[in-house]
Amino acid sequence: MPSPTAGHPMPLTIGLPDGRRLGLTRYGHPAHRAVVFHHGFGSSGLELPDDAALLARLQLQVLAPDRPGVGQSSVYRPLTFPSFADDVVAMLNALEIREPVGVMGWSVGGVHALALAAQHPARVAAAQLLSTCLPLGERAAYRHLSPLWKFLRWGQIGFPWLNRTTFLWLSRQWQLHPDRTIDWFIRLMFREEARVTSRFRALLRDAAVAGFAHHGRGVYDDAQAWCRPPGFRIEDVRCLVRLWHGQADGVWAPGNIPYLARRLGGAPVHLLPGQGHMLYLENWPAILEEMSGLLDEETEI
């Protein structure tokens, strides 16, 4: 493991109790309060802005683990939301982080953040859900899905071989032609998502290349886990929670975010006009400021 520094993002690899590897990226100084960031679907822990000065001022470090089959993390085919929550706790133990941490999740990473808070409440002080999704395989949440997301779940469950082939093909494109591939995705995006992705093009390109490592196996397993019963109850989340969502989100429309907030005990929602699914990139300083305040508040209780 590289020696700790306070500078730019540092890649780390730790051994898990069952012999697998877990790769992660550390942003900030290892002596500062820890925040765990769960990356989005088809991406990796490289998707965060590098703002060492802001982290130093807030005395935060952000740990962004790669889910199984992503980046340097070993493939783990029986991936579930609870199994990755256990991996994150093993990561915290290996890094000798004992105090409760902040947790963030972007997009489907928000469901992984909820799983960590629900499964290991003593390890989580506060959570932020950034453009989060619902668990597609939960019966209660399924009724709130749009027809498109119901169709996508049906396709993932009903035709797994087709999805596996698609992710394998996309993996090859990302590895062989990363610039051409991200430009292709930008052309397919809704306007607001395309605008932000163009602005952070290099960062998101590199994050996707790592996301589609291992022949796209991690993306496929993540999709399967997302579509199966989640294995935890949203109502078991007891920590402080804040939701951030864009009114112009073209990936996950904001209509069911109040429903999720109600299931989290009426958690406050930042509903941002004119912003889309990538809002975490343009609001990163404000998000970190809020997390710092939540951790301060939890410490005072």
Contact call for residues 90 and 16 (beta carbons, < 8 A): yes
Determine the pLDDT at residue 284. 98
Q: What is the CATH number of domain 10-300?
A: 3.40.50.1820
**How far is residue 69 from each of residues 23, 139, 176, 215, measured CA to CA in Å?**
10, 27, 18, 9
Return the amino acid letter for 257.
I
Of the two residues 99 and 8, the one the predictor is more confident about is: 99
Average of per-residue pLDDT values in the chain: 95
Task: Report pLDDT digits (tens) over 239-276.
Answer: 999 999 999 999 999 999 999 999 999 999 999 999 99
Determine the pLDDT at residue 298. 74
Determine the pLDDT at residue 2. 39
Q: Is 88 exposed, middle or buried (0-12, 13-18, 19+ CB in 10 A)?
A: buried
| Residues composing the chain | 301
Q: Angle at Cα 218 formed by Cα 214 and Cα 220, nearest 5°?
A: 115
pTM for the structure as a whole: 0.95
**How far is residue 197 from each of residues 66, 179, 183, measured CA to CA in Å?**
20, 13, 10
Nearest one of 70, 62, 53 to 30, comparing CA atoms: 62
Is the model's pLDDT at 16 over the cut of 90?
A: yes
| C-alpha to C-alpha distance for 287 and 198, rounded to whole angstroms | 21
Hey, how many other C-beta atoms are within 10 angstroms of the C-beta on 41?
17
Determine the pLDDT at residue 4. 42
Local structure of 141: helix, strand or coil: helix
φ, ψ for residue 227 (rounded to 5)? Answer: -90, -15
| C-alpha to C-alpha distance for 277 and 62, rounded to whole angstroms | 21
Ordered by start, the domain boundaries in the chain are: 10-300
Percent over 70 (pLDDT), the chain: 97
Task: Report pLDDT digits (tens) over 112-171.
Answer: 999 999 999 999 999 999 999 999 999 999 999 999 999 999 999 999 999 999 999 999
Of the two residues 300 and 51, the one the predictor is more confident about is: 51
Determine the pLDDT at residue 7. 55
Q: What's the whole-number mean pLDDT along residues 195-208? A: 98
Percent over 90 (pLDDT), the chain: 95
Query: pLDDT-based confidence at 301, cuts 50/70/90?
Result: low
Of the two residues 207 and 298, the one the predictor is more confident about is: 207
Is the model's pLDDT at 97 over the cut of 80?
A: yes
Is the model's pLDDT at 1 over the cut of 90?
A: no
Determine the pLDDT at residue 61. 98
Of the two residues 6 and 131, the one the predictor is more confident about is: 131
**How far is residue 8 from each of residues 11, 25, 26, 33, measured CA to CA in Å?**
10, 10, 9, 17
178-188 helix and 160-176 helix, angle to the nearest 10 degrees: 120
Is the model's pLDDT at 198 over the cut of 70?
A: yes
Q: What's the whole-number mean pLDDT along residues 10-36? A: 97
Task: Report pLDDT digits (tens) over 177-192.
Answer: 999 999 999 999 999 9
> Which pair of structure tokens corresponds to residue 109?
């990473």
| C-alpha to C-alpha distance for 107 and 278, rounded to whole angstroms | 9
Contact call for residues 224 and 83 (beta carbons, < 8 A): no
> Which pair of structure tokens corresponds to residue 4?
């700790």
**How far is residue 100 from each of residues 65, 139, 162, 249, 289, measured CA to CA in Å?**
17, 31, 41, 31, 18
Half-sphere CA count of 124, side-chain side, radius 13 A: 28
Task: Report pLDDT digits (tens) over 271-298.
Answer: 999 999 999 999 999 999 999 999 998 7
